[in-house]
Amino acid sequence: MMVAGIGSRKDVSARDVLAAIETALETHGLAMTALSALATASLKQGEQAIFAAGGELALPVIVVEDDALNAASSHVISRSSLSQEHAGTPSVSEASALAAAGKGAKLLGPRTVLGPVTCAIAISGDMA
């Protein structure tokens, strides 16, 4: 399973989200078809652009609950004090991707920042 974790500022567009996903995948030499799902933190479940992007890609959007997000936070690469303050994790995109990809998941690298959206790619432990 390969998951794109998404973090964003408020009121981003689906185009912003899709561009960040595409940029993150390109960084790792991957195609959009490699993805199994998108993921984000429960505090972002009101961001319609994330769900619109999932719909456009025909991928499920996994909403990661706070306790799973916090558990994954100790394994993130990037650290944002703003994210820590507002979301309780140093990286919403990285922690969401890790939590959604399951036990033993690994990030392919640090999150990609593209304007108001961050995207991190994680693979499940059985792919690592």
> Mean pLDDT, the chain, as a whole number?
91
pLDDT at 90: 65
Write the pLDDT tens digit of every residue in 8-40. Answer: 999 999 999 999 999 999 999 999 999 999 999
The string of pLDDT tens digits covering residues 55-66 is 999 999 999 998
Residues in the chain: 128
CA within 13 Å, CB half, 117: 25
Name the burial class of residue 22, with classes exposed (0-12), middle (13-18) and buried (19+) by CB atoms within 10 angstroms of its CB. middle
Q: What domains does the chain contain, in order, with CATH numbers?
A: 2-123 (3.30.420.180)
pLDDT the model gives residue 20: 97
Cα–Cα distance for residue pair 19/8, rounded to 1 Å: 12
What is the model's pLDDT at position 127? Answer: 53
Q: Is the pLDDT of residue 128 over 50?
A: no
CB 95 within 8 A of CB 118: no
Report pTM: 0.92
Closest CA to 3 of 35, 26, 28, 44: 35
Give yes or no for a contact between 49 and 12, defined as CB atoms under 8 angstroms apart: yes
Phi/psi for 21 (5° steps) reads: -65, -50
**77-124 pLDDT tens trace:** 887 777 767 777 768 899 999 999 998 999 999 999 999 999 999 999
Alpha-carbon distances, residue 23 vs 50, 78, 111 (angstroms): 16, 17, 10
